[in-house]
């Protein structure tokens, strides 16, 4: 039996696309993406999901306010979701939510944790910090999610070397292509297989 997966997104959905492609190519075989939820009704990720015939749902934090996480939990439970993947989901989840799904939420972060992670480190900011600091190696980390931003147990990491002429934008693109899009599907398959 396959593990039911939900992917939570906020934007373009490039990591979601990597997961869809990996499911289609057989890298992810122990689980199946059943639902894509976005906090942003205009997220292109929702179009990617619809193109792949995956059910979608919008939980708008601004509209739902205090009921946001309860609405998420309700939707996830209604769809019998076993594993949640945060793929560019721009909302910090509370301890109430993360403990409800303990060891069943994974996230991809665009650095080698514990470097350049935690509160305030997301998107281009992570790559700007890596370049400002002068590190020679960065990468991506897939980890379990707990109540501490980027604080959960590490599942998988992949290093990416920094080039002398890198900009935050070029580095972000390479980290996605060489690390995030490779280890996120592999880590998801690993977690699904262990749950099976």
Short-list 149, 154, 156, CA closest to 182: 156
Q: Among all chains, which residue has been given the structure tokens 């400002």?
A: 132
Active site residue 109: yes
Question: Within 13 A of 28's CA, how many CA atoms are on the CB side?
Answer: 28
- Cα dihedral angle (61, 64, 67, 69), rounded to 10 degrees? -30
Selected catalytic residue, list 100, 109, 127, 143: 109
DSSP bridge partners of 36: 7, 56
Q: Phi first, then psi: what are they for 51, rounded to 5°?
A: -65, -25
Per residue in 16-26, is it b (16+ CB within 10 Å) or e — as a string?
Answer: bbbbbebbeee
Strands 137-144 and 55-58, by their bridges, are unpaired
Residues 6+ positions from 49 with CB-CB distance below 8 Å: 7, 13, 16, 20, 33, 36, 55, 56
Tell me how far apart the alpha carbons of residues 147 and 173 are, in angstroms, rounded to a whole number: 28
Residues with a catalytic annotation lie at 109
């Amino acid at each position: 039996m396959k593990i039911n997966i939900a992917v939570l997104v906020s934007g373009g959905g490039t990591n979601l696309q990597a997961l869809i492609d990996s499911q289609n190519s057989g890298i992810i075989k122990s689980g199946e993406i059943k639902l894509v939820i976005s906090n942003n009704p205009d997220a292109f990720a929702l179009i990617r999901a619809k193109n792949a015939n995956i059910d979608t749902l919008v939980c708008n934090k601004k509209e739902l306010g205090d009921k946001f996480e309860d609405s998420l939990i309700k939707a996830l439970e209604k769809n019998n979701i076993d594993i949640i993947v945060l793929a560019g989901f721009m909302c910090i989840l509370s301890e109430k939510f993360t403990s409800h799904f303990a060891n069943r939420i994974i996230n991809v972060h665009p650095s080698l944790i514990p470097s350049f992670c935690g509160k305030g480190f997301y998107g281009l900011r992570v790559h700007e910090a890596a370049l400002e600091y002068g590190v020679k190696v960065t990468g991506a980390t897939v980890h379990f999610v707990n109540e501490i931003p980027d604080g959960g147990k590490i599942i998988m990491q992949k290093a990416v070397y920094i080039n002398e002429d890198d900009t935050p934008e070029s580095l972000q693109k390479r980290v996605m292509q060489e690390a995030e899009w490779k280890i996120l599907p592999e880590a998801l398959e690993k977690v699904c297989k262990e749950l099976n």
